[in-house]
Amino acid sequence: MTRLPASIRESVELHASAAGLGSHIESVQPVAGGCINHGCRVLLDGDSSLFVKWNPRAPAGMFESEADGLGALRGAAVDTGAKLAVPTALAHGRTAEGAWLALEYLPPGRSAPSTDVSLGRALALIHGAASESTFGWHRDNWIGTLPQSNTPHPDWATFWRDRRIRPQLDAVRQRDLCTDPVFDRVSLAIPNMDRPACLLHGDLWSGNAFVTSGGTPALIDPAVYRGDGEVDLAMTQLFGGFGSGFYDAYAEVRGIDPGYHAFRRDLYQLYYLLVHVSLFGHSYEAQARAAAGRVAATLS
C-alpha cells in the first residue's frame, strides 16, 4: 500500500472535512505514473475519491502554480465548449513532510482512436480562443522541477529567446553541456514571429493526457502560460504517443501554418530538449544539438 506521510494525511483530512467530502481517509491506493512527485488515490468515508500528490522537496509555490494552471485550462474548456476533462484543484498545503495537492479524481478509461480526435479538437478550440496581446503569465511556474519564468512580454520572439531558450542554455552550460556554437546561432537568429498569444498546457507529452472512464480526454500536470499554440503541438511530437487523428482534428479546427514544419517545431522542441538535458544530463545533448542545427540551417 502507498504510504501517505502522516502529517500530509492529517492535513488532507482536515481540508476534506471542511469541504464536506469526508472526515477520514479509509484507504490509499497507488496510482501508476509520475517521476517527480508521489501520487495516490485517496478514498474518504464520505464516499469521495481524491487524487493526492506530494513532494518532500517541492519548492514554495510549485503546487499553487499547478492548481492555478489547472483552473485556467478548466475555465478555457468551459468557455470554448471544448470536450475536455481537467481535474479541479481542491486544496493544497505544506507540512513538515512536504508540500501536497489534492485534486478531483478522474477515473481512467480505455483509449480509442476517437480519443485522439476529441483531444485534437479540444486543444484547437482552446488555442483558438486567443485574446491577449502579451505573452507569458501572471506568475512563474515550473517545467518538471525547473523554474519557468513567465514575465510578460509583447513580442513572442523575444519571449521565446529570453524566457525559454537562453535560461535553459545558461543552466546546462554551467555543467559544461551544450557548448556547441550552434546553440548561440539559434539564439541570435530567432526571427520576428507574428503569432497569437494562446493559452498553452505547456508540458503536453503523452503522460499528461489520458481518457476518463466516460471517454472524455483529460489533461493534467500543466505548466501554463500564453504563447504560440504550436508549442503544445511541438511537444506532442517530440516523444510521440499521439495518433494521426489528433493532428488531423487539430488542423481541421484551427489549421497548422507552414512555418511550423519549416522551423518552429524544431525551435520549440529545442526548449524541451534543453529541459531534458538539464534534468537528465548528456543523453539528450545530441538530440538538442541536432534540433538546433536544423533551425540554424533553415534561418541562416
Mapped onto helix, strand or coil, the DSSP state of residue 229 is: coil
- The tens digit of pLDDT for each residue in 141-180 reads 999 999 999 999 999 999 999 999 999 999 999 999 999 9
Instruction: Look over the chain and give the mean of its residue pLDDT values, rounded to a whole number.
Output: 95
Catalytic residues: 203
Q: Which residue stretches of the chain have pLDDT < 70?
A: 1-2, 33-34
Helix H or strand E encompassing 33: none
- The tens digit of pLDDT for each residue in 194-228 reads 999 999 999 999 999 999 999 999 999 999 999 99
